[in-house]
Chains A and B, each alone.
Chain A
Amino acid sequence: MNVTFSKNNSDKRYLNKTLTNQLNVTGVSLYDSTSVTAPVLKVSGGPSKIANYNYVYIPDFDRYYYITDFTVENGYILVSCKVDVLMSYKDNIMLCDCIAKRNENEFNFYLHDEKFKTLAYENIFIHAFGRPFTKISEFILTVQG
């Protein structure tokens, strides 16, 4: 089968990865029994062929994968992969209804934020009212009548 190797420079948490240096490779087979979420590809040729790549797209599985390891065996390169569910299903994920707990751009600062940090000391502010009393005292005499 054909696969496309590429270099992923994006944080794993990105839904849409930025992929560069794409390399199509044909004649790739699967190594022994393999799962669709963690396949092991068997690629002919030397390690230098794809050792600098960290990402792969397998059209037959219609999924994107991180490359987790390279192993050389009997002249083949065994490429261990793990599915990138975010990139693989990003189009459908984007259409799903959700409630965001935190967001970089849309937020309400009046919601309590348990991740907020404050310093040990506090800022003290004093605001005075007008002075109702005077140190110049007044006598008040109360008398009968």
Chain B
Amino acid sequence: MRIKGYNGFPSLPLYMLQNTGMRGRDQNGEVYHSNDYFCANSIDGANIEQWADSHRNLLGQINPNDRRTWIKAWSGIYLSNFYELNDGTRYRFDFTFPACSGVTTSENASNWNVQDQTIAIECIRNYYVVGVRVWGLFYGIMFDMYYNTYIEGALTEQRCGRFYKFSGGINNFQTESTLYLQGSIYPYGSGTPTKPPLIPSQVLTESYYLMTAYLCTDFGGSVYNEKQTGDTSESGGGDGNYGDEDTDEIPDDGTPTISAISSGFVSLYNPTPAQLLGLRDFLYNADASIIEKWMRLTDNAFNYLIGLKLFPCQPVRGAISAISLGGVESEITAYKVGNQYKTIDCGSVNVQECYGGFLDYTNTSVKIYLPFCGEMELDTPIVMHGTVNLKYKVDFLTGDCMACVTVTDNHGVVNSQVYFSDGNCACDIPLTGRNDITSLTSILGAGMSMITGGVSGAIGAITNPEQFNPKVQRVGNISGAVGMLGQYTPYIIIQRPAQSFPANNNMLLGRPSNIGGRVDRFSGYTEIEYIKLDGIQATDSELEEIRQLLADGVYI
């Protein structure tokens, strides 16, 4: 078929030959894959049919399944924007080839400058970076000639994906105006390329992975090959701050400075058993004036007793004072608890390496038993080769306790609290036979009802729930506190492997090394994982045998 040109292009016939895999964009920007490529006759108007006939054999060498894109390069001619097929389909085919003075159809064009020319080099994978100098050896199929031409220059800009802009010169260019570019990219060197190509031409016969030379316009149009569906891999990484990272110390934070005691609504006492008995008697035998004072807020003096607990440790004691209930001092004195919280330092344990090697880490487990909190696994790499300090923080109002583990002088962790475990170390002692929260709920749910029973006795129907005023919440249940029955001494359990290590192990097996250098720096039994066998005039099979023997282990 014939194609007529537009936009001032001389009306040269263009023939489309089959199965070349070229793609482009039509006037709407849609990718168009014609499976054909264009060729054109020379600017002197030679008959394209005759040209085609004379080159049929040569063109027949083109693999019809070859998906390279062949682009016509013209000297001083713009192949312009649109080409219309006979059926009216427009095919946008953008490229330019610079006009260059001194180039004619009959002269050699040495050092032909193609600085203005954007030859997009599609490169396979990540072989190239901008700035690299390359040879481009292009097999030019000349009009009436078959000639090899090479281009030398540099990749100056990465276009999209694997496409690079190339700027350079074409040497030894002889043309009759038509030049099909297909070729290889070589490492830069002087003279004709002698090294094997980085991207050899024979690779080009493989579908999809191609090196294809394009000529693409600087005006934004391009001839596209395969649609890019991902980013080209590039080298990078390795720029972390290894060796420069600091570690912060996370020391113990202490306990709150403001506690429930500070509110004045609750008080904690540390009575002896005898003092508790005395308080009990006081409550049972209080005279009427005291009872009247208590009745201002509650109908039951026991309501002033919020809780009674047994602790396995002594609180911070304040002054000895009379136990006050609802603002009424009793006759019983006891230590007042000076601080709701107390920190108990249990000391430190050194967790030392036994073997000085991997056995201390990958095959060793470390656990800590914490009274009232349970058992906890510690990360061996964190605590090994360090000092483990344990502190208990106890809340004498709730009975809660927290075990805080600090690790110091480890390979990385320095004086930081890294483990926490909570529990409850108090045993609740019931003071009454009922739970006020439960009672209030049942009253509200049932509406007006009688409350009978209980230690305090019947108090009559409640018409207004607000009159039933346990302003404090009592705990009347016995807590589990099974910890009270258990072990009170915290300890660390280290489970270490028992190694089986023959005396001649190193001589016969060696030990993991991962040390680099020349072979002659090593001595004794050696297994070589990676080696560069340079300068050995051996056969291929001998080299392979050397590599295998070294990997299996040799004596140096």
Contacts and interface: CB of A to CB of B under 8 A. Distances in A.
Interface of A: 10-11, 13-15, 36-37, 83, 85-86, 88-89, 92-113, 115-119, 121-135, 137-145
B131 interface: no
B526 A139 contact: no
B120 interface: no
B358 A142 contact: no
A133 B371 contact: yes
A98 B514 contact: no
Contacts of B348: 129
A103 B510 contact: yes
Interface of B: 264-273, 276, 279, 303-315, 323-327, 334, 337, 344-351, 355-359, 361-363, 371-372, 390, 392, 396-397, 425-427, 471-472, 484, 488-501, 506-507, 509-520, 522-539, 541-542, 545-546, 549-556
B304 A124 contact: no
A87 to B, nearest CB: 11
Given A121-B498, A140-B269, A140-B311, A15 B556 contact: yes
A3 B490 CA distance: 78
Given A102-B553, A144-B265, A133 B488 contact: yes
Contacts of A117: 499-501
A117 B311 CA distance: 49
A129 B490 contact: yes
A57 B542 CA distance: 16
A95 to B, nearest CB: 6
Nearest to A132: B344
Contact of B426 (A36, A113, A140): A140
B346 A130 contact: yes
Nearest to B511: A107
A118 B273 CA distance: 56
Given A15-B555, A128-B490, A133-B313, A96 B534 contact: yes
- Most B-side CB within 10 Å, residue of A88, A101, A115, A144: A144
25 contacts: A85-B546, A94-B556, A95-B519, A95-B534, A98-B530, A100-B528, A102-B510, A103-B511, A103-B513, A104-B525, A105-B524, A116-B499, A119-B500, A124-B496, A129-B348, A129-B490, A131-B490, A133-B371, A139-B273, A139-B309, A141-B308, A142-B267, A142-B308, A142-B397, A143-B306
